[in-house]
Amino acid sequence: MTALETAAYVIAQAPAPPNDPGGQGEDFGKSSPVGLVLLILFAVAVVFLIRSMTKHLRKVPVVFDEDKAATAAPAKVKRAEAAREAEAEPQEGETKPGKDETP
């Protein structure tokens, strides 16, 4: 196709109708009732989420007390912590290697 044929083809095309707003149909920009229902459902879900979180936040203490947390810890956790501390402390007669010493 030559340049002259291409120009003739472009010029010969039918113009767009004057009432056509760029290919958008008459329902363009209108939301459906399903969208409204979804929006309302999301709003209700957010309200319940906020209520639930405020209930949980009321249970959280303002100041965290480590002694209270230690007494509330289960026995299994306490045993694991005691075992870690026992491993960290050297036995009698043993010394921990320093910077200059090798194990």
Q: Which two tokens stand for residue 17?
A: 């109708």
Q: What tens digit of pLDDT does each residue of 30-71 get?
A: 777 888 899 999 999 999 999 999 999 988 877 777 777 767
Q: Which two tokens stand for residue 75?
A: 């026995």
Q: How many CB atoms lie within 10 A of CB 35?
A: 10
C-alpha R_g of the chain: 38
Q: Which two tokens stand for residue 43?
A: 């709003």
Q: What is the pTM of this model?
A: 0.39
CA atoms within 13 A on the CB side of 85: 6
Q: What tens digit of pLDDT does each residue of 1-29 get?
A: 788 888 888 787 766 666 656 666 676 67
List all residues 6 or more positions away from 9 whose beta carbon is below 8 Å from its beta carbon. Answer: 1
Q: Which two tokens stand for residue 65?
A: 């007390």
Handedness of CA 14, 18, 23, 25 (dihedral sign): negative
